[in-house]
Amino acid sequence: MSAYAPNSELRLPIRAGVGFKSDHFDDIQESAPSVGFFEIHAENFMGAGGPPHAQLTRIRRDYPLSIHGVGLSIGGAQPLDREHLDRVRTLVARYEPAMFSEHLAWSTHGAAYLNDLLPMAYDDIGLARVTRNVMDVQDALGRRILLENPATYLRFETSDLSEVQFLSEVAHRSGCGLLLDAANVHVSAVNHGFSAEDYIDAFPIGLVEEIHLAGHAEDADEDGERLLIDAHCAPVPSPVWALYRRILDRRGPVATLIEWDNALPAWPVLLDEAARAEHLLEERWQWSGETTRQEARA
């Protein structure tokens, strides 16, 4: 078990946040919106300076920040790329985000970077490898991280654990927390024909410290069957909002991100999506009666 236990001083506010894109920077500056936090992709800020860092420094001054890695290849068969991990560590040290997260996926083979988040077999070999890599990342960053459930388009016959069992065991062995992406659950459930509701109900909900919501693209596979693509290119669809309510019913209010990375909308459209998530969080606060949102924001 890792030494990096949950830290109450390193947590996102229990509100709705949005992904930060430079296209929206002027709107953010002019309107000073009431969003809970911003999230960035680590790999977009690995240079030393320039406009990206000038904008991010300003954002970080005014808002909590979450850094989301997309390139550590934690599920890869080869050891972690130490130079890449050092760049992530430098970024985390520079901006001191409330949270750092990565994906249960792989994206490198040899010296090649495949520019995608690829699925892996859920077996004992993969379990040992991912656990070791998560612990190495946590040791490098000096903090607990979150691991995100992936969107997948194929499954391996050699898997002898379910995805939920695999994530649960990695979290148990490494001490990491979990990021539950409701959009990924919906995409994978449609693509593979399983129940998204059963997936949510089986998830180790007490380990969830952040939720992601996003829209998808739709295509067809070679047999003409419906195929969803985790493209982050559209509003959050109704089935994902329904899964979000189901998660909140089990977990209670938790920090929630609206992801919209492609075909970017106008800033007010993105803000409306965040407001909808914020409204559902408010409803859940009222139902729980455990504490107030204001207390949670402190």
Q: How confident is the model at residue 298, as a pLDDT?
A: 45
For the chain, what percent of residues have pLDDT higher than 90?
85
Please indicate whether residue 141 or residue 290 has the higher confidence score (pLDDT): 141
The closest alpha carbon to 74, from 157, 149, 185, belongs to: 149
Q: How confident is the model at residue 4, as a pLDDT?
A: 75
Q: Phi first, then psi: what are they for 218, rounded to 5°?
A: -125, 140
Under the banding of pLDDT at 50, 70 and 90, the label for residue 11 is: confident
Q: How confident is the model at residue 295, as a pLDDT?
A: 52
Q: Which residues pair with 91 in a beta bridge?
A: none
pLDDT tens digits, 254-263: 999 999 999 9
Assess whether pLDDT exceeds 60 at residue 247. Answer: yes
Q: Which amino acid is at 99?
A: M
pLDDT tens digits, 45-97: 998 889 999 999 999 999 999 999 999 999 999 999 999 999 999 999 999 99
The closest alpha carbon to 252, from 213, 195, 188, 296, belongs to: 296
Q: How confident is the model at residue 114, as a pLDDT?
A: 81
> At a CB cut-off of 8 Å and minimum separation 6, what does 45 contact?
52, 53, 56, 91
Give the whole-angstrom CA distance, residue 155 versus residue 130.
17
The torsion angle over the Cα atoms of residues 21, 24, 30 and 34, rounded to 10 degrees, is -60
Q: How confident is the model at residue 157, as a pLDDT?
A: 94
Under the banding of pLDDT at 50, 70 and 90, the label for residue 8 is: low
Least confident of 2-6, 9-13, 45-49: 2-6
Q: How confident is the model at residue 116, as a pLDDT?
A: 86
Assess whether pLDDT exceeds 70 at residue 41. Answer: yes
Taking residue 211's Cβ as centre, other Cβ atoms within 10 Å add up to: 23
Assess whether pLDDT exceeds 60 at residue 293. Answer: no
pLDDT tens digits, 175-198: 999 999 999 999 999 999 999 999
pLDDT tens digits, 197-241: 999 999 999 999 999 999 999 999 888 999 999 999 999 999 999
Q: What is the average pLDDT score of the chain?
A: 93
